[in-house]
Amino acid sequence: MTGANTPILQIDDLTVDFLSEGDPVRAVDGVSFHVCPGETLVILGESGSGKSVSTGTVMGLIDCPPGDIVSGSLIFDGTDLSNLDEEGRRGLNGRRIAMIFQDPLAYLNPVYTVGRQIAEVFESHDAGAEGPVRDKVIQLMQRVGIPEPETRIDYYPHQFSGGQRQRVMIAMAIALKPDILIADEPTTALDVSVQAQILELLGDLQRETGMALIMITHDLEVAAVMADRIIVMNGGKVVESGKAEEVFTNPDHAYTRRLMAAVPHGSSGRRHPRPAVEGETLLQVENLSKHYMLNAGLFSPKIEFKAVDDVSFVLRRGETLGIVGESGSGKSSIARMLLRLNDPTSGRALFAGDNIFQLEGKALNGFRRRVQMVFQDPFGSMNPRMNVRAIISEPLVIHRDILPRARWNDRVVELLELVGLKAEHADRHPHQFSGGQRQRIAIARALASDPELIVCDEAVSALDVSIQMQVIELLSELRQRLGLSYLFITHDLPIVRAFADRVLVMQNGRVVEENETEALFASPRHPYTQALLSAVPKPKWTVVEPADSVI
Partner 1 sequence: MVDILMPSTRTPGNLRQLTIYLRRDKLALCAAFFLLLLIVCVVFGPLLVGEAAGKLGLRQRNLAPFSLEQGFIYILGADTLGRPILARLIVGAQNTLGIAAAAVFFSMFVGGMLGLVAGYSERWYSHVILRLADVVMSFPSLLLALIVLYTLGPSMTNLVIVLAITRMPIFIRTARAEVLELRERMFVSAALAMGASSGRILFRHIAPLVLPTLVTIAAIDFATVILAESSLSFLGLGIQPPDFTWGAMVANGRGYLASAWWIAFWPGLAILLTTLSLNILASWARTVADPLQRWRLQSLRKAPR
Partner 2 sequence: MMLGYIGRRTYHSAISVIGLLTLVFFLTRLTGDPSALYLPLDSSLEAREAFARLNGLDQPIHVQFLDYLQNLLSLDFGQSLRQNRSAIEVALEAFPATLKLAFVAITLSTTLAVIFGALAAARPGSLFDRAVSLISLAGASTPDFWIAIVGILVFAVGFGMLPTSGTGTALHWIMPIVVLMLRPFGLLVQVVRGTMISVLASPYIKTARAKGMKRRRIIFGHALRNSLLPVITVAGDLTTGLINGAVVVETIFGWPGIGKLMIDSIIQRDFAVVQSTILVTAIAIFIVNIAIDLLYVALDPRIRY
Residues in touch with partner 2 (CB under 8 A): 59-61, 86, 89-95, 98-99, 101, 103, 106-112, 117, 120-121, 124-125, 156, 158, 169, 172, 298-299
Using CB under 8 A as the binding rule, the residues of this chain from 305 to 344 that contact partner 1 are 336, 339-341
Neighbours of 292 (CB within 10 A): 12
Question: C-beta of 69: minimal distance to partner 1 in Å?
Answer: 10
Our CB check for partner 2 shows the closer of 98 and 146 to be 98
Question: C-beta of 77: minimal distance to partner 1 in Å?
Answer: 24
- 458's torsion region: left (phi>0), alpha (psi -120 to 50) or beta? left
Question: C-beta of 521: minimal distance to partner 1 in Å?
Answer: 31
3-state class (DSSP) for residue 68: strand
- Please give the Cα distance from 350 to 502 (Å, whole number): 19
Our CB check for partner 1 shows the closer of 485 and 529 to be 485
Our CB check for partner 2 shows the closer of 45 and 60 to be 60
- Please give the Cα distance from 456 to 510 (Å, whole number): 20
User: Would you give the binding string for partner 1 spanning residues 163-202, x where CB under 8 A is met?
Assistant: ---------------------xx-----------------
* Paired strand residues for 291: 306
Question: C-beta of 12: minimal distance to partner 2 in Å?
Answer: 23
> 3-state SS of 263-332?
CCCCCCCCCCCCCCCCCCEEEEEEEEEEEEEECCCCCCCCEEEEEEEEEEEEEECCCEEEEECCCCCCHH
In single-letter form, the type of residue at position 436 comes to G
User: Distance from CA of residue 522 to its chain's centroid?
Assistant: 25
- Under the binding rule (CB under 8 A), the answer on residue 203 touching partner 1 is no
Among residues 10, 34, 48, 125, the one that binds partner 1 under rule CB under 8 A: 48
Query: Which of 448, 380, 363 shows the shortest CA–CA distance to 414?
Result: 448
Our CB check for partner 2 shows the closer of 110 and 353 to be 110
Inter-CA distances, 513 with 153, 307, 322, Å: 38, 17, 12
Residue 290 touches which of partner 2, partner 1, none (CB < 5 to 8 A by kind)? none
Our CB check for partner 2 shows the closer of 64 and 543 to be 64
Using CB under 8 A as the binding rule, the residues of this chain from 264 to 303 that contact partner 1 are none
- Under the binding rule (CB under 8 A), the answer on residue 363 touching partner 1 is no
User: Distance from CA of residue 466 to its chain's centroid?
Assistant: 14
User: Residues near 355 by Cβ (< 8 Å), separated by ≥ 6?
Assistant: 348, 349
Among residues 385, 400, 422, 481, the one that binds partner 1 under rule CB under 8 A: 385
Question: C-beta of 52: minimal distance to partner 1 in Å?
Answer: 5
- Please give the Cα distance from 529 to 513 (Å, whole number): 7
Choose the stretch contacting partner 1; rule: CB under 8 A; options: 364-372, 407-415, 475-483, 515-523. Answer: 364-372
Query: How many residues of this chain bind partner 1 (CB under 8 A)?
Result: 57
Our CB check for partner 2 shows the closer of 11 and 426 to be 11
Whether the CB-CB separation of 421 and 437 falls below 8 Å is answered with yes
Our CB check for partner 1 shows the closer of 305 and 379 to be 379
- Under the binding rule (CB under 8 A), the answer on residue 61 touching partner 1 is yes
Backbone angles phi, psi at 123, to 5 degrees: -65, -40
Inter-CA distances, 287 with 292, 308, 494, 528, Å: 16, 10, 28, 21
- Please give the Cα distance from 161 to 153 (Å, whole number): 14
User: Residues near 124 by Cβ (< 8 Å), separated by ≥ 6?
Assistant: 90, 94
Whether the CB-CB separation of 285 and 349 falls below 8 Å is answered with yes
- Under the binding rule (CB under 8 A), the answer on residue 365 touching partner 1 is yes
Residue 67 touches which of partner 2, partner 1, none (CB < 5 to 8 A by kind)? partner 1
The residue ranges that bind partner 1 (CB under 8 A) are 15, 17-27, 47-48, 50, 52-53, 56, 61-62, 65-68, 70-71, 101-102, 184-185, 336, 339-341, 364-365, 368-369, 371-373, 375-377, 380-385, 394-395, 398-399, 442, 445, 449
